[in-house]
Amino acid sequence: MRPAHPTEQAVGMEYYVSDADGVGGHLREDDEHFRVRELERFETEPVDSNVDAYPHLVFRATLSGWDTNDFASRLSDALGISRERVNWAGTKDKYAVTTQLFSVYGADLEDLPDIDGAEIEVLGRAGRSLEFGDLAGNEFELVVSEPDEPDLAAEITDELHDFGGLETDGDDATSIGVPNFFGQQRFGSRRPVTHEVGLEIVRGDWEGAVMAYLGNPTDAEPEDTQAARSFVEETRDWDDALERFPNRLRYERSLCHGLAEVDGEPEPAEYRAALERLPSNLQRLFVHAAQSYAFNLMLSERLERGLAFDEPIAGDVVCFADTDAPEGLELPDTDRLQRVDERRVRSVSRHCERGRAFVTAPLVGTETELADGEQGAIERAVLDELDLEPADFDLPGEFYSSGTRRAILVRTDLALEQDPLTLEFALPKGSYATVVLREFLKVDPVQLG
């Protein structure tokens, strides 16, 4: 175990679990070098089914150079509908080739536009929209460009195999495990502030949340953006700030526009109303990022204490595997939880060894019940440090969260090739490819994003 990059430490990922030096290099030299395909789990009816009963048109899109949110906006604009009528199961990155599902309420086959960088395959119709998480996982094929020490990949693989806790027996030689951190892109690869916005929201400081998003200039941003952020921090002049923020920063401009309409100094409710102008999925993301930050801190503290990730200790809460998952994919079902007392540690450990159970930590919300024992002490200490408690997540609208739990370990079978250095693996939904890649490259996370 060794200290992580400072930028990762700032979002709660304080360690690498592999001691070997990284291979170096970077990702995404070309979109083709970062390929993602959803492992789908959503049923559809034939495309000619009754529209009244099945109003949602479902299609598979292979996108190159499209962020999921941006593609949804482009699609809704072309269709002349609200973006809220476009839904998807998982958010994907812009600088990649991604294959994923979308649903559009009220659209017909002939309505779908031709969009550059998008190949669309209509699958059918559905009685409900896709919802976030309506997939089993994702398959990845990733190329590392210009690695300094590509031969170190084998040593790192061996260390991650040991961390995963599976017995070594030939077929399992490429099975690896890593802490199930939320990756840097959850918080912003170049400007990791999403969790700071969320923390202010959960604490009830709506003005602080707006300013965390509008302000906080970073050196990784263009000079005009830094200048706009510095200006709005210093002046709170929303009209002038609206002119200074570049058009590409449409969410910042939306916040400024909403506040510029206020007569006089905005009240907390008006700062909240400005945030509610943003897309609903972005509103949810703020709070989710705050939960994710706390989760990362809990995992880092468990690593610091030398506690196992692949098996429980007394007081842990485990979840069981989803029995309907695709073959070869370990998919936790966090609706099936069990608290592990001293008597059950051995029997539950056997389930964990077989990939049938997983130790969890909380994504804190109103219904969160914390663990007991040493893991419970970790969870309470992190929440105390952040001045949070479950009741704080009883928030209005999209900001509300009941919470859940999440596996602390993610395991996968890794196929590793040289020249070019290529990694192929699958992860359950909600897990990040970059938490695997960071162990191999050990570079500034900007080079992973």
Question: Which of the following is catalytic: 31, 93, 316, 392?
Answer: 93
Task: Confirm if 337 and 318 have CB atoms less than 8 A apart.
Answer: yes
322 is catalytic: no
Give the residue numbers annotated as catalytic, written as ranges: 93
